Structure 1
Amino acid sequence: MRIDKAIESSMAMSDATWARHANPWSFWTRVPLLMALTLAIWSRVWIGWWCLVPVAALLIWTFINPRAFAPPPHLDDWASRAVLGERYWLARKDEPIPAHHARAAMVLSTLSGLSLIPAVYGLWMLDPWAAFLGAALASAFKLWFCDRMAWLTADMAGQPLPTRAQQT
């Protein structure tokens, strides 16, 4: 199983959930999550095991967030197009996407994932530069990926949006 499909599966994303997640409020309230999670884990330095409270709250919010907002009234916002592009990306095995988008998205996903290495190292070794720089880089590459997904949505205009049944 591909890692992106595993993540989607763990989030239990139905078609209705994806529609709600396309709300720009859902998108923008997820953007700071990695940095907030890094800070919450780092807080073990100050509050010990109590750091698990903000960590748990952030993990719960990560799951609730795509369900917390109503579907947007329109899908022409950049954040909405980025979410729609992720749907095309996840369904790329069944409904091919342009090769230039697939290559760029794969590179950006890889760079984002690799950026987590210094973040994890920094959290483990209590190196704030590595932890927060890694989280910032991973977030920046994720936003660049989202921009590419918005572009993919524009290029896929006229193509039906993949449904959950097509993505399984």
Structure 2
Amino acid sequence: MQRTAAKYFAMSEEVWARHANPWSVWSRYSCLPLLIACLWWRDWLGVAFWPLLVGLLLWVWLNPRCFSKPRDTHNWASQAVLGEQILIYQLERVPLVHYQVIKIIMALLTLSTLVCGIGLWFQEAISTCVGALGVILSKTWFLDRMVWLYQSVARTDAEIAARQAKT
């Protein structure tokens, strides 16, 4: 799923390096609440719904491209992105201890997305809010796991540790 998303978003090495900027990571957190608000008020927005939706989706695609490469990656947000790259492109380096937790996180993320989507479809506030909270918490847990993954791989991989030391 992550590899498909990376391919869809055309995440080149340059784009990944820019996305490791904490401003990119933290500003993407605004995307979900804004997207949910747009979908929730779709009837009220009328024809303005479509330009807003397209603008939000464009921002999701542009966001990793809008920031410069970070000066250093010794922070949670940057290491979350670096861990995600390892998960997507260097699966053989991922320690087994992370697989089960990642499966649980992905199941929770999928379930939360489904609950939020159903809530939005039927404009049911509790399902929408519970689902959205689940998505945000699951994504945050996933990013935290990616930091852990990155740090565990960097401790045992000289190439990754050297790249970290340069920044």
TM-score by length of 2: 0.89
Deviation of 1:25 (Å): 0.1
SS in 1 for 2:37: helix
Q: Given residue 138 of structure 1, which amino acid in structure 2 is its aligned partner?
A: V
**Corresponding position of 1:31:** 29
RMSD (Å) for aligned C-alpha atoms: 1.3
Within a 5 Å distance, the mapping from 1:142-157 to structure 2 comes to 142-157=139-154
- Measured in 1, the distance between the counterparts of 2:46 and 2:123 equals 13
- Measured in 1, the distance between the counterparts of 2:131 and 2:146 equals 22
Q: Given residue 41 of structure 2, which amino acid in structure 1 is its aligned partner?
A: S
Deviation of 1:121 (Å): 0.6
Within a 5 Å distance, the mapping from 1:72-111 to structure 2 comes to 72-93=70-91, 95-111=92-108
Q: Given residue 113 of structure 1, which amino acid in structure 2 is its aligned partner?
A: T
Q: 1:103-146 CA deviation, whole Å, 9 max, x = no partner?
A: 21121122111101111111111102111221121111000110
Matched, 1:66 2:64: yes
**Corresponding position of 2:53:** 55
Higher helix share goes to which structure?
2
SS in 1 for 2:93: coil
Q: Given residue 49 of structure 1, which amino acid in structure 2 is its aligned partner?
A: V
- Measured in 2, the distance between the counterparts of 1:122 and 1:45 equals 15
Q: Given residue 78 of structure 2, which amino acid in structure 1 is its aligned partner?
A: S
Structure 1 gap ranges (5+): 162-168
Q: Do the aligned partners of 1:111 and 1:141 also contact (CA within 8 Å) in 2?
A: yes
Runs of 4+ in structure 1 over 3 Å off = none
Structure 2 gap ranges (5+): 161-167
Q: Do the aligned partners of 1:35 and 1:132 also contact (CA within 8 Å) in 2?
A: no
The number of residues matched between the two structures is 158
Deviation of 1:91 (Å): 2.3
**Identical aligned residues as a percent:** 35
Q: Given residue 139 of structure 1, which amino acid in structure 2 is its aligned partner?
A: I
Within a 5 Å distance, the mapping from 1:1-40 to structure 2 comes to 3-40=1-38
- Measured in 2, the distance between the counterparts of 1:53 and 1:128 equals 24
